[in-house]
Structure 1
Amino acid sequence: MQSPDLPDAGPAHPRRRFIAAALAASLVPAARAADAETLRIGFQKSSTLMIFLKSRGTLEQALAPLKVHVTWHEFTSGLPLLEALNIGAIELSADVADAVPPFALAAGAKLTYCAIETPSPQAQAIVVPQDSPITDVAQLKGRKVAFAKGAGAHYLLLEALAKAGLAIGDIESAYLSPADARAAFENGSVAAWVIWDPFLAAVQRQAGARILLDGGSLSSYRRFYLAATPYAQRRPDVLGAVFTALQRAGDWIKKNPGPAAEWHAPVIGLDAATVAAANLRRSYRVQAVDAEALGEQQRIADAFTQARVLPRRVVIAESPVWRPS
């Protein structure tokens, strides 16, 4: 049928040849997209290894033989990321802090544990101003402490208070985002702040914050990678390819701290020296989920249930675990 806006100048007309070629070219990616399955990956700015893979197109190359196309979706925090995983908006979650999965599971999410980054207990801490008279956790009694509700920092605070013979009700809790907490910390509105890297490294280097107590033996601070359970059951081969890529990315970052910090600094808006300081405290070692990691997940869930932060008790053992073959 003749096009209404083009004169019929025969099959050799240059404009017709151009349009035909353009239409043919546009159909090639469409055909490929129809043939390939899409893997939607959610990540945060703290998802160093996934962002590293994203920046280099590593997963796109690794998954192409499996006929999998990758799309990337950024989230501002861990819980919305896992909520998206549960409702089917994404299939795979980059790392979230250890306190996040119990909240998603308490809300009924069907998630599969896929991998962990091994413990990095020094990557989160309770900090006070350099000139603060506070020298131990017991002195926080009756004082205002800033932290993100339900975060790994919250769990660290619960454990630190318990060790000092205190409960969460013995302090004045200030539930603040990292940005708001940093402002409150610097203007003296709070006596202490419980925070994780790279915010921890930033407040140390830029504001002279003093570490009162880090994770030490209280909180391992593992980071967890999770998948939607239906996807994990259907595509274990994809999870295996992602697992291998994450391991290699972690190895590269630990073996190349300078170049890694230079690469990541502009991504998170910090100077390279601060990023390097944070990276020293994070293991970036990716391994299969083990019984020890799941045991701490249960302890975290129980602590939040007891503190009435979680609405119901979560049984971590009921959640499936993917392991590399």
Structure 2
Amino acid sequence: MFSVTRRIFTAGLLAATVLGAGAAHAADLKELKIGYQKTGLPVIARQQQLIEKALEPQGITVSWVEFTAGPPLVEALNVGAINVGWTGDAPPIFGQSAGSAIVYVAALPGNVGGEAIVAKAESGIKSVADLKGKKVAVGKGTSAHNLLIAALEKNGLTFDQIEPVYLAPADAAAAFASDKVDAWSIWDPFLAIAETRYTPTVLVRSPEVLKVNTYFLSNRDFAKENPAAVTTVVGALKVAAEWADANRDKVAAALHEVTGVPLEAQTLAANRAEFGIFPITDEIIANQQATANRFYKLKLIPNAIKIADAVWTPPGN
């Protein structure tokens, strides 16, 4: 615990040296609002109170706001209802195309095996190709939306050859349970819950068709005015990643404690998760740009975008 505390202190100390045009505004910051979902690194950081401990020397408290999916989280960032947050790859693309005031701060590993398209075994659907003409539940503008599009393309289908049923995860879960849809494109922990309840047929997992990341985002003005706070949070998330990798046997319990998702499902999700947070590289930008181009070509987003325009550069870099 001493070493973890020391790393938190060091991260906060380094962040305190960050200089920028918004430094004067940072002194007025009293509360940091973080948007999160029921899985991943931010949940670990919350359970360990790592961000709270890192920001305490700056006199900043932390509040957590839960979202079921990335699109509403991005909209909350846009309007300033939250300051920072974590989503999959697709939501910031939809947000940027719509003019949302967001920036990419850092990248995290993708969902690896924790995002997939599934169908119940009794449905008779055994492959992505079998989805032609079928109803597929998916959250519009989510990372699972991107997975669905990419999986169809790889299997010789176009998006208009299925019937997408746009639903939030909880509603999609109900539709899947009652057989109102034929398949479901979804991420952990909702995927893990479905796997433990129904033992469905997994048609494809994200890494089989995509090379993507998840992202730590910020409201654009907030990042400009409070670079030290943003840098401190990233440092605390790095400590959370180190803890998760060194304590994998405790990760599921930590996720369960914060989210209330059944321990069996969180164990499944935690065992296949990757933890880390790192700078956004040219390769990451290129992969994200390819996704944005795909969405624009399909007319799923209203405007063509340049991902690099929304990447935050810390002062001094």
TM-score range, shorter chain: 0.7 to 0.9
**1:36, CA displacement in angstroms?**
5.5
Taking the aligned partners of 2:177 and 2:221, their CA distance within structure 1 comes to 46
Counterpart pick for 1:89 among 81, 85, 95: 81
Alignment correspondent of 2:12? none
Taking the aligned partners of 2:267 and 2:314, their CA distance within structure 1 comes to 31
The amino acid across from 2:117 in the alignment is I
The amino acid across from 2:178 in the alignment is N
Identity across the alignment (%)? 33
1:322 alignment partner, SS class: coil
Moved over 4 A (4+): none
The amino acid across from 1:296 in the alignment is N
Alignment correspondent of 2:100? 109
| CA RMSD, Structure 1 to Structure 2 (Å) | 2.3
Counterpart pick for 2:49 among 52, 57, 68: 57
Taking the aligned partners of 2:292 and 2:61, their CA distance within structure 1 comes to 35
Alignment correspondent of 1:274? 265
- Return the TM-score normalized by structure 2: 0.84
Residues 10-25 of structure 1 aligned to structure 2 (within 5 Å): none
Alignment correspondent of 1:244? 235
Larger radius of gyration: 1
1:12-34 CA distance string (max 9 Å, x none): xxxxxxxxxxxxxxxxxxxxxxx
1:72 alignment partner, SS class: strand
Alignment correspondent of 1:144? 135
Taking the aligned partners of 1:279 and 1:209, their CA distance within structure 2 comes to 19
Moved more, 133-142 or 60-69: 60-69
The amino acid across from 2:195 in the alignment is Q
**1:225, CA displacement in angstroms?**
0.6
Taking the aligned partners of 2:40 and 2:90, their CA distance within structure 1 comes to 18
Alignment correspondent of 2:183? 192
Closer, same or farther in 2 for the Cα pair 1:63/1:40, shift >3 Å?
Answer: closer
Alignment correspondent of 1:259? 250
Contact 2:38 2:68 in 1 (8 A): no
Closer, same or farther in 2 for the Cα pair 1:60/1:265, shift >3 Å?
Answer: closer
Closer, same or farther in 2 for the Cα pair 1:191/1:75, shift >3 Å?
Answer: closer
Taking the aligned partners of 2:111 and 2:52, their CA distance within structure 1 comes to 29
**1:251, CA displacement in angstroms?**
2.0
Closer, same or farther in 2 for the Cα pair 1:132/1:90, shift >3 Å?
Answer: closer
Alignment correspondent of 1:29? none
Taking the aligned partners of 1:271 and 1:249, their CA distance within structure 2 comes to 22
**1:177, CA displacement in angstroms?**
2.0
2:152 alignment partner, SS class: helix
Counterpart pick for 1:310 among 285, 301, 307: 301
- Return the TM-score normalized by structure 1: 0.82
Count, aligned residues = 291
